[in-house]
Amino acid sequence: MTTYGTVAVIIYLLLSPVIACTLSGVDRVVTARMQGRRGPKLMQPWYDLVKLFSKETTSVNDIQKILVMAHCFFAIFSGAIFFAGGDVMLVLFALTMSEVFLILAAYSVNAAYSEIGAQRELLQMMAYEPMTLLTAVGFYLATGSFKVDKIISTDLPLIIKMPGFFIGFCFVLVVKLRKSPFDLSTSHHANQEIIKGLTGDLSGPVYGFSELAELYEEVLMLGIVGLFFMTKEPVSLLWAFIAIAVVMFCMSLIDNIFPRVKWEALLKAAWLVTFFAGGANLVILSLAERM
């Protein structure tokens, strides 16, 4: 691991919750303004997180806590690999592992809403996994390596070679960041429909850990967005931050323009986008490699 990698991992581990809380605070304020409301304070997600850790835990079994902890651990772990400059494939597999632990936690409590949530989470994984894996393949085709530190040492930003992958990845990012559709298992808006499904039976600090995992995951996902804009020039970091800000704003906008998209629509659309945007880009990229 390089010195830069070590520094990046330390910053990631220490600051991710604060950065992600601020980002979702901005997102909540922007969303409120789009709806003609005043909206909460900027650090509201941070207050929510701290509060959860001060609450009592009520749990029907002990295994739930362990599974949620494992979920949180793997989410942090996958991000750490990414920021250390490790293998993108490994990052995605560790992230899937983390999701699987959360689904197991939901199944372990044997509650109706948790089960619906877990099933929807599985469907949702089925919708976005092909695209995230394709993106990793795209990085390999474009740079000849799965390693993040190799990927960022290109001359030209990868967005030029991989616009299709970028569109596809942004599409599944809406799902990954729990924005839209509204009836996703842990969507921030699904509160009344399936009572947050997947996390429905978590309470207090245990729920806090699942929220914490989500914050680390958010930073990782935005990191991957940034990866499309990184080159070996240090100034590219600025472009990456601007790109992340634009993508975040688009996420809020999409969330507010399509407030009633359902998961069935997601499933169809995600695969279509994967096929046309990701697939076409993949074909072009591999043909270009052969020439």
| Closest CB to another protein among residues 1, 50 | 50
| Closest CB to another protein among residues 6, 35 | 35
For the bound state, the minimum distance from the C-beta of residue 41 to another protein, rounded and expressed in Å, comes to 7
3-state helix, strand, coil in the chain (%, to 5): 75, 0, 25
For the bound state, the minimum distance from the C-beta of residue 27 to another protein, rounded and expressed in Å, comes to 13
Residue type, 131: M
| Closest CB to another protein among residues 76, 109 | 109
C-alpha–C-alpha distance, residues 159 and 136, integer Å: 13
C-alpha–C-alpha distance, residues 193 and 138, integer Å: 37
Select from 164, 144, 152, 175 the least CA-distant residue to 239. 152
Residues 6+ apart with CB under 8 A from 27: 248, 251, 252
| Closest CB to another protein among residues 37, 268 | 37
Residue type, 201: D
Contact between 157 and 123 under an 8 Å Cβ cutoff? The reply is: no
For the bound state, the minimum distance from the C-beta of residue 270 to another protein, rounded and expressed in Å, comes to 27
- Please give the torsion angle defined by the CA atoms of residues 150, 155, 156 and 157, in that order, rounded to the nearest 10 degrees: 40
| Closest CB to another protein among residues 57, 145 | 57
- Structure-token pair, residue 138: 């795209």
For the bound state, the minimum distance from the C-beta of residue 173 to another protein, rounded and expressed in Å, comes to 23
> Any idea what the Cα angle at residue 268 is, between residues 267 and 273, rounded to 5°?
100
C-alpha–C-alpha distance, residues 133 and 140, integer Å: 11
| Closest CB to another protein among residues 44, 154 | 44
| Closest CB to another protein among residues 39, 163 | 39
DSSP tag of 278: I
Residues 6+ apart with CB under 8 A from 277: 164, 165, 167, 168, 171
| Closest CB to another protein among residues 40, 163 | 40
Which residues of this protein are in contact with another protein, per CB under 8 A?
A: 28, 32, 35-41, 44, 47-48, 50-51, 54-58, 191-192, 195-196, 200-204, 207
For the bound state, the minimum distance from the C-beta of residue 231 to another protein, rounded and expressed in Å, comes to 41
For the bound state, the minimum distance from the C-beta of residue 54 to another protein, rounded and expressed in Å, comes to 6
Select from 85, 286, 113 the least CA-distant residue to 190. 113
For the bound state, the minimum distance from the C-beta of residue 266 to another protein, rounded and expressed in Å, comes to 22
For the bound state, the minimum distance from the C-beta of residue 15 to another protein, rounded and expressed in Å, comes to 19
